[in-house]
Amino acid sequence: MATIQFNKVAHSYLRNPKGEFDYALKYINHSWDDGGAYALLGPSGCGKTTLLNIVSGLLIPSKGRVLYNDRDVTTLPPEKRNIAQVFQFPVLYDTMTVFNNLAFPLRNRGIPEEKVKKRALEVADLLDLTPFLNKRAAGLTADAKQKISLGRGLVRKDVSAILFDEPLTVIDPYLKWQLRRKLKEIHEQLKITFIYVTHDQVEAMTFADQVMVMNEGEILQVGTPQDLFENPEHTFVGYFIGSPGMNFILCTIEENKARFNGMQITLNEDLAERARTAKGKLELGIRPMYLEIHSQFLEGGIPGKIKTVEDQGTCKIVSLIVNDNILHARVSEGKPIPEKEAWLRFPPQRTKLFADGRLIQ
Amino acid sequence: MQKWQNNKAWLLVLPAFIIVAFSAVIPLMTVVNYSIQDILGPGQSVYVGFDWFKEMLANYRLHDALWRQFLFSGLTLLIELPLGIMIALSMPKRGWGVSASLVILAMPLVIPWNVIGTIWIIFTRPDIGLFGVGINSLHILKDTFDHTARPLYAWITVVVMDVWHWTPLVALLCYAGLRAIPDVYYQAARIDGASGWSTFFYIQLPKMRGVLTIAVLLRWMDSFLIYAEPFALTGGGPGNSTTFLSIYLVKLATMQFDLGPAAAFSLIYFVIILLFSFIFYQVLLNVGRGEKV
């Protein structure tokens, strides 16, 4: 059990990194509280796994310090950090039985056999692995194998944190859901810090209390799933979270209106005021679910052409062309959708502005 | 049974069938044919049934050669497998050392087999050989080291030569097996606090099972068939002390021209190799599969 802290951590896989560009992780300052459920969300190659391997000690960062309960562990190997990690592909000792797999980390640490047995049985019970205890691990299904990997972490009672590196990649969709619930359940029961790496937003949002969105080696935003959805602090977060992602339009600001291609959208007074003083490229952003579509002329609305309508069952995704921008709107089932032309309304309280990718607060 | 209307597909199989027939089936059948006849001269032969088989099975020279063969194959397997694994484990995993060690390892494998015999004759000769002269000048042996004079020395030379020649193959196979283990296994082992030994026993060795099966089969068959190197080195001597099955067979067939007995012998030889390969394969396939707590 421990609070994990990153103090100005940066990492490059090159021996002599030159610019910022050579770093897989750029200057991370963050702390993970004891007992939290965290998700690290980001596209492939954004540095999630690098970050995770630095937490576990498989990698030593090029710069900065890693602290466990204020103790510097930056150069300590994983076996001395008391950490567990579940990998993308199930890692098992396939010549051993399930029981021996679970007992392995304890036996390696010289714990008396009767305690090992008791603990392994407890964990097997927790993970519903009891029926397989005497089976060889090699012949089991992918989800059972992944549970064994997790179990090897859970057997150590004093484990500081359990790290998951896209653990559900190889699991069937139906079982994915089940296993995710099991993880959540175990977290609630044991209150061990879970750090969960994934590129699947649904996984991240349903699993974690705190989601950290990463891109290009940086943590862009940390927050609850709702926070990330409602108030993306970065255009990447807006675009990456939600399906489809946020709409963005390059714009300029004039009085309290955002202008683009001769059209204008009325904004909140104070947002417009702050935007007028902001520097850099201005972008207007709105979630597809908040973009309103009307079939008739609307005061303050802008005209658009309907390109496609995609029925997703519970809702329809409408793609619209507004000048040279393509916007998406999410319309709930049953609402009428105009045939060709539509008037779009941007509700001011849902319309965000970004300067150089950062949200104007 | 279903009957096919169009049987032209058989024509496509025909070339392969003919090649296999000429390269394997017909020669083998010729041997079978010889084994049940006494060849008196060209065109003159008498049917003798299983007499040659009975004679060969009772032949004490064949028995001796067979035991020698088992001893030799067993010894070389016992040395080459662990040694090959050890070499593979200690080979570099990245950098220029990888290609360097691969090239060095592959060298004995590309030398023609009878050249290897010759190399070792020269290497161990007591008058001019580096090893022969070297060990004799140390005066640690009671008798002068000369593989043409003493069976023990002949055996040591033949076994060491085989180890030198074939351990690289085992090492290369094992190295390939080791390189195929994903890094996460080692990472998981570190996280689980596994020692070097347990990493070897529970990750590396099980993951090498496939290549080790191939290594054992190849080495067993090859050492059981060994001919060129010991023939070049010792010619089967001194006495008959290094006369292995194939050397005895060639003596029988081409020097004494006993085609019938030699053919019967060949078939017995063939069956032995087939039998042992099958046993090894089955054992290795099932090794560590059925165990329970």
A134 and A63: one domain? yes
Of A58, A83, A108, Cβ closest to residue B194: A108
Of B185, B195, B293, Cβ closest to residue A91: B185
- pLDDT tens for residues B172-186? 999 999 999 988 899
Q: How far is A153 from chain B (nearest CA, A)?
A: 8
Smallest Cα–Cα separation from A240: which of A44, A30, A49, A87? A44
Cα end-to-end distance, chain B, whole Å? 47
A226 and A144: one domain? yes
A52 and A81: one domain? yes
| Minimum CA–CA partner of A151 in chain B | B192
| Minimum CA–CA partner of B181 in chain A | A91
Partners of B203 on chain A (C-beta within 8 Å) are 93
Average pLDDT over residues B151-165: 89
What does pLDDT average to over chain A? 86
- Spatial contact of A195 and A219, defined as CB atoms under 8 Å apart: no
Segment A8-13 long-range contacts (CB within 8 Å, at least 24 positions apart): A8/A63, A8/A64, A8/A65, A9/A54, A9/A61, A9/A63, A9/A64, A9/A65, A9/A66, A10/A61, A10/A62, A10/A63, A10/A64, A11/A47, A11/A50, A11/A54, A11/A59, A11/A61, A11/A62, A11/A63, A12/A62
What does pLDDT average to over chain B? 85
Q: How far is B288 from chain A (nearest CA, A)?
A: 6
A167: number of Cβ within 10 Å: 28
B5 touches chain A (CB under 8 A): no
Report, in angstroms and rounded to the nearest whole number, the Rg of chain A calculated over CA atoms. Answer: 25
A97 and A59: one domain? yes
Is the complex ipTM more than 0.95? no
Q: What is the DSSP letter of A136?
A: B
A113 and A236: one domain? yes
Q: What are phi and psi of A330, to 5 degrees?
A: -110, 115
Strands A83-86 and A161-165: parallel
Range of the domain at A187: 4-240
Distance CA A164, CA A84 (A): 9
- Spatial contact of B210 and B177, defined as CB atoms under 8 Å apart: yes
A111 and A202: one domain? yes
CATH number at residue A162: 3.40.50.300
Partners of B193 on chain A (C-beta within 8 Å) are 79, 105, 108-109
pTM flag (> 0.90): no
User: Which pLDDT score, from 0 to 100, does residue B1 have?
Assistant: 60
User: Which pLDDT score, from 0 to 100, does residue B289 have?
Assistant: 54
Classify domain B60-286 at the CATH topology level: MetI-like fold (1.10.3720)
Please report which confidence band the pLDDT of residue B291 belongs to, taking 50, 70 and 90 as the band edges: very low
* Amino acid symbol at A52: L
Strand partners, A40: A197, A212
- pLDDT tens for residues A70-120? 888 888 888 888 888 888 888 888 888 899 999 998 888 888 888 898 989
Smallest Cα–Cα separation from A198: which of A357, A183, A246? A183
- Lowest-confidence region among A188-202, A315-329, B246-260: B246-260
Q: Which of residues 206-225 of B touch A (CB under 8 A)?
A: 206
pLDDT over threshold 80, residue A162: yes
Smallest Cα–Cα separation from A77: which of B178, B91, B189? B189
Number of domains, chain A: 2
B165: number of Cβ within 10 Å: 22
Q: What is the DSSP letter of A104?
A: H
pLDDT over threshold 50, residue B293: no
A92 and A175: one domain? yes
Residue A324 tokens read as 């040279």
Domain boundary among A189, A209, A240: A240
- pLDDT tens for residues B186-225? 989 988 888 889 899 999 998 888 888 888 888 888 888 8
CATH number at residue A271: 2.40.50.140
Of A77, A89, A97, Cβ closest to residue B190: A77
Domain boundary among A184, A218, A240: A240
A251 and A236: one domain? no
C-alpha to C-alpha distances, B152 to B116, B149, B275, nearest whole angstrom: 20, 9, 30
